[in-house]
Amino acid sequence: MKIHHYTSIETLEMILKNKSIKFNRLDQVDDKAEYKYDSTVYDTNIKLGKYTFVSCWTKSEMENIDLCNRYGKGNKGVRISLDEDMFETYDVGTVNRSFYNNREYCFENFVVSSYINKVGLVDVKYEQNIELYYKEAIKCFDQGVAFKHDNIGIYKKREWGLQNESRFIIHAQPFEPALMSNHPLSFPLALGTAYRNGMELSRTALYIPLKQEVLEHLEITMGPGTTDEDRKKVEKILKDCNIKAEIKDSALKGDL
The tens digit of pLDDT for each residue in 63-81 reads: 998 898 888 878 999 999 9
The pLDDT > 70 percentage for the chain reads: 89
**CA dist 38 to 32, 43, 203, Å?**
13, 9, 20
Question: What percent of the chain stands above pLDDT 90?
Answer: 51
Residue 123 domain flag? yes
DSSP at 201: P
2 within 8 A of 81, measured Cβ to Cβ: yes
Say if residues 66 and 163 touch (Cβ distance below 8 Å).
Answer: yes
Q: What is the pLDDT of residues 39-63, one digit of tens each?
A: 554 455 677 778 999 999 999 999 9
How many domains is the chain built from?
1
In a domain, 238, yes or no: no
Average pLDDT on 167-193 reads: 77
Q: 214 and 82 in contact (C-beta within 8 Å)? A: yes
Confidence tier at 85 by pLDDT (50, 70, 90): very high
Residue 94 belongs to domain spanning: 2-11+19-72+86-213
Q: Does a structural domain hold residue 186?
A: yes
Question: Is 243 a domain residue?
Answer: no
* pLDDT the model gives residue 45: 65
Identify the burial level of 47 via C-beta atoms within 10 angstroms of its C-beta, where 0-12 means exposed, 13-18 middle and 19 or more buried.
Answer: middle
Instruction: Quick: pLDDT tens for 133-161.
Output: 877 777 766 656 677 888 888 989 899 99
Is residue 222, in this structure, part of any structural domain at all?
A: no
In a domain, 150, yes or no: yes
Residue 248 lies in a domain: no
pLDDT at 15 over 70: yes
d(CA 53, CA 28): 9
Give the pairing type, strands 219-222 and 246-248. parallel
Orientation of helix 228-240 relative to helix 9-18, angle to 10°:
10
Question: Whole-angstrom Cα distance, residue 92 to residue 129?
Answer: 37
The C-alpha atoms of residue 54 and residue 27 are separated, in whole angstroms, by 10
What average pLDDT does the structure give for the chain? Answer: 87
Which helix (H) or strand (E) segment is 22 a member of? Answer: strand 20-25
CA 100 – CA 119 distance, rounded (Å): 10
Strand duo 78-83 + 219-222: pairing: antiparallel
Q: How far is CA 208 from CA 23, 45, 55, 100, 157, in A?
A: 8, 30, 10, 9, 27
Asked if residue 237 belongs to a domain, the reply is no
Is the pLDDT confidence value at 196 over 80?
A: no
What does the chain come to in residues?
256
Distance from C-alpha of 144 to C-alpha of 189, rounded to nearest angstrom: 6
